[in-house]
C-alpha cells in the first residue's frame, strides 16, 4: 500500500511539473508610442502620443522552439493634431481591451521572434473635443522581439498596425510601438 501511495504522489508531482513547464501565466506592462495613419489635409499636423499598456499574458509551449502567447491587455493609442488655422491642439486618446495571440519562435534560450493577430475593443475615448466617433472594434497585426532575462523576467518590443478603421468619420488607422516588461509565475 505504501508503494502504491508513493507511486501516486510521484506521478502527480511529475505531472504538475510537466504542466508547469508547458503553460506559464504572467503579467506585463509598458509604454506605447502611438500614432494614427491615414489621409490628412495639409493644414493638419499630426504627432504621436506616449501612453501605456498593462495586462495578463500566458505562454503555451507547443514545441521546443515554438510557443503560443495569448494576452489580455488594456492599451491606449491615438494621436495629437495641430491645425494651422487654429492655435489649439486636439489630442485623441483611445482605450482598448486588446487580445493579441502571438506565435513565438525561439531563436535560442534568450531571444524570440513574435508575430500574430490582435482583436481590440474600444472601451474609452478621451478627446479634447466633443466628438465620439471611434469604431468599437479594431483588428490588427503585431510583430516583435522578446528577450528572456531570467526564467521569470522578460522584455518585449513590438510594433502593431491596425488593419481596420479607428474612426467612423475618417480614414484613420492606429499604429503603435510597444516596449514591455513582464514576469511569468
The better pLDDT of the pair 78, 179 is held by: 179
Q: pLDDT at position 15, please?
A: 46
Q: Could you tell me the pTM of the whole model?
A: 0.83
pLDDT tens by residue, 41-58: 666 778 899 999 999 999
pLDDT above 80: residue 178: yes
- Choose the weakest-confidence range: 9-18, 122-131, 163-172: 9-18
Distances (CA, A) of 111 to 4, 23, 106, 178: 43, 18, 6, 17
Adjacent-strand bridge partners of 159: 143, 177
Amino acid at each position: 500500500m505504501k508503494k502504491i501511495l508513493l507511486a501516486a504522489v510521484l506521478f502527480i508531482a511529475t505531472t504538475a511539473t510537466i504542466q508547469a513547464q508547458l503553460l506559464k501565466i504572467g503579467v506585463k506592462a509598458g509604454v506605447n508610442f502611438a500614432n494614427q495613419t491615414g489621409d490628412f489635409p495639409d493644414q493638419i499636423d499630426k504627432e504621436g502620443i506616449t501612453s501605456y499598456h498593462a495586462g495578463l499574458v500566458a505562454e503555451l509551449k507547443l514545441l521546443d522552439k515554438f510557443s503560443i502567447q495569448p494576452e489580455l491587455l488594456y492599451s491606449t493609442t491615438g494621436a495629437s493634431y495641430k491645425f494651422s488655422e487654429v492655435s489649439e491642439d486636439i489630442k485623441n486618446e483611445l482605450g482598448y481591451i486588446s487580445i493579441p495571440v502571438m506565435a513565438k519562435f525561439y531563436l535560442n534560450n534568450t531571444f524570440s521572434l513574435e508575430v500574430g493577430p490582435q482583436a481590440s475593443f474600444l472601451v474609452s475615448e478621451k478627446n479634447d473635443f466633443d466628438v465620439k466617433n471611434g469604431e468599437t472594434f479594431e483588428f490588427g497585426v503585431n510583430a516583435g522581439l522578446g528577450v528572456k532575462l531570467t526564467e521569470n523576467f522578460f522584455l518585449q518590443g513590438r510594433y502593431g498596425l491596425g488593419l481596420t478603421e479607428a474612426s467612423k468619420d475618417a480614414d484613420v488607422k492606429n499604429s503603435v510601438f510597444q516596449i514591455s516588461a513582464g514576469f511569468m509565475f
